Amino acid sequence: MSWVMVSPELVVAAAADLAGIGSAISSANAAAAVNTTGLLTAGADEVSTAIAALFGAQGQAYQAASAQAAAFYAQFVQALSAGGGAYAAAEAAAVSPLLAPINAQFVAATGRPLIGNGANGAPGTGANGGPGGWLIGNGGAGGSGAPGAGAGGNGGAGGLFGSGGAGGASTDVAGGAGGAGGAGGNAGMLFGAAGVGGVGGFSNGGATGGAGGAGGAGGLFGAGGEGGSGGSGNLTGGAGGAGGNAGTLATGDGGAGGTGGASRSGGFGGAGGAGGDAGMFFGSGGSGGAGGISRSVGDGAAGGAGGAPGLIGNGGNGGNGGASTGGGDGGPGGAGGTGVLIGNGGNGGSGGTGATLGKAGIGGTGGVLLGLDGFTAPASTSPLHTLQQDVINMVNDPFQTLTGRPLIGNGANGTPGTGADGGAGGWLFGNGGNGGQGTIGGVNGGAGGAGGAGGILFGTGGTGGSGGPGATGLGGIGGAGGAALLFGSGGAGGSGGAGAVGGNGGAGGNGGLFANGGAGGPGGFGSPAGAGGIGGAGGNGGLFGAGGAGGNGGLFGAGGTGGAGSHSTAAGVSGGAGGAGGDAGLLSLGASGGAGGSGGSSLTAAGVVGGIGGAGGLLFGSGGAGGSGGFSNSGNGGAGGAGGDAGLLVGSGGAGGAGASATGAATGGDGGAGGKSGAFGLGGDGGAGGATGLSGAFHIGGKGGVGGSAVLIGNGGNGGNGGNSGNAGKSGGAPGPAGAGGAGGLLLGENGLNGLM
- Reported as a single tens digit per residue, the pLDDT across 708-744 is 666 666 666 666 666 655 543 344 455 667 667 777 7
Which amino acid would we find at residue 573? Answer: V
Q: Could you give the angle at the alpha carbon of 528 between the alpha carbons of 176 and 474, nearest 5°?
A: 135
The per-residue pLDDT for 396 is: 93
User: Which residues are within 8 A (CB) of 469 and not within 5 positions of it... i.e. 6 or more apart?
Assistant: 323, 325, 440, 441, 445, 475, 476, 497, 498, 499, 524
Range in 265-274, 292-301, 478-487 the model is least confident about: 478-487
| CA 243, chain centre distance (Å) | 13
The string of DSSP codes covering 93-155 is HHHHHHHHHHHHHHHHHHSS-SBSPPPPPPTTTTPPPPPPPSSB-PPPPPPPPPTTTPPPPPP
pLDDT for res 214 = 78
- Paired with 370 in beta bridges are 342
Instruction: Kindly give, in sequence order, each residue whose CB lies less than 8 Å from that of residue 183, ignoring residues fewer than 6 positions away.
Output: 142, 154, 155, 167, 195, 197, 198, 213, 214, 215, 216, 241
Query: Which CATH superfamily is 8-108 part of?
Result: HP0062-like domain (1.10.287.850)
pLDDT for the residue numbered 689: 63
- Report the half-sphere exposure of 348 (CA within 13 A, side-chain side): 22
Going by pLDDT thresholds of 50, 70 and 90, the confidence category of residue 160 is confident
| Percent of the chain predicted with pLDDT > 70 | 48
Element (H, E) at 25: helix 8-37
Q: Which band of pLDDT confidence, cut at 50, 70 and 90, is reported for residue 97?
A: low
Contacts of 443 (CB under 8 A, 6+ apart): 470, 471, 472, 473
> What is the pLDDT confidence band of residue 698, given thresholds at 50, 70 and 90?
very low
Question: Among 418, 525, 512, which residue's Cα sits nearest to residue 465?
Answer: 418
| pLDDT tier for residue 341 given thresholds of 50, 70 and 90 | very high
Whether the predicted pLDDT of 564 surpasses 80: no
Residue in 182, 103, 465, 475 with CA at minimum distance from that of residue 325? 475
pLDDT of the residue at 456: 79
Res 548: pLDDT: 43
| CB of 443 closer than 8 Å to CB of 470 | yes
* Pair 148, 124: CB distance under 8 Å: no
Q: What pLDDT is stored for residue 579 in this prediction?
A: 53
Cβ neighbours for 268, distance < 8 A, ≥ 6 positions apart: 236, 237, 292, 294, 298, 299, 300, 301, 328
| C-beta of residue 446 within 8 angstroms of C-beta of residue 417 | no
How many beta carbons lie within 10 A of that of residue 220, not counting itself? 16
Query: Could you say which DSSP state residue 643 is in?
Result: P
Q: What angle do CA 358, 363, 367 make, to 5 degrees?
A: 170
pLDDT of residue 364: 93
* Secondary structure of residue 679 in the 3-state scheme: coil
Answer yes or no: is pLDDT of 558 > 50.
Answer: no
| 3-class DSSP state of 700 | strand
Whether 404 shows a pLDDT value over 80: the answer reads: yes
Domain boundaries, the chain: 8-108, 334-464, 606-757
Share of the chain above pLDDT 90, in %: 6
Run of H or E including 77? helix 46-110
Predicted pLDDT of residue 391: 93
Let me know: does 178 contact 209? Beta carbons within 8 Å.
Answer: yes
CB atoms inside a 10 Å sphere around CB 720: 40
Q: How confident is the model at residue 419 (pLDDT cuts 50, 70, 90)?
A: confident
pLDDT given for residue 115 in this prediction: 79
pLDDT of 363 reads 93
Which carries the bigger pLDDT value, residue 549 or residue 241? 241
More confident residue, 324 or 613: 324
Spatial distance between the Cα atoms of 290 and 260, rounded to a whole number of angstroms = 6
Q: How large is the average pLDDT for residues 429-446?
A: 80
Q: pLDDT for 50-88, tens place per residue?
A: 887 888 788 788 778 877 877 777 777 777 766 666 666
Which of 740, 753, 757 is closest to 700 using CA atoms? Answer: 757
- pLDDT for residue 5 is more than 70: no
- Under 8 Å between Cβ of 604 and 630: no
φ/ψ bin of 448: left (φ > 0), alpha (ψ from -120 to 50), beta (otherwise): beta
Which DSSP letter does residue 550 get? T
134: nearest Cα among 100, 153, 110:
110
CA distances from 562 to 231, 454, 587, 593, 625 (A): 17, 23, 21, 10, 10
- Residue range 587-607: average pLDDT? 53
401: amino acid identity, one letter = T
Gap between the Cα atoms of 251 and 223, Å rounded: 8
Q: How far apart are CA 561 and CA 314, in angstroms?
A: 23
For 582-601, b/e burial (b = at least 16 CB within 10 A) is: bbbbebbebbbbbbbbbbbb
Q: What is the pLDDT of residues 613-651, one digit of tens each?
A: 555 555 555 555 566 566 555 566 666 666 666 655 555
Distance separating alpha carbons of residues 466 and 533, to the nearest angstrom: 12
- Supply the pTM of this predicted model: 0.63
Nearest to 323 by CA among 303, 343, 345: 303
- For residue 318, what are the contacts with CB-CB under 8 A and spacing of at least 6? 287, 288, 303, 304, 305, 306, 333, 334, 335, 336, 346, 347, 348, 349, 361, 362, 363
- The residue type of 679 is A
- Rounded CA gap, 505 and 294, in Å? 17
Lowest mean pLDDT among 130-139, 427-436, 610-619: 610-619
Say what angle helices 46-110 and 8-37 make with each other, to 10 degrees: 160
Mean pLDDT value of segment 189-197? 62
Alpha-carbon distance of 600 to 597, in angstroms, equals 9
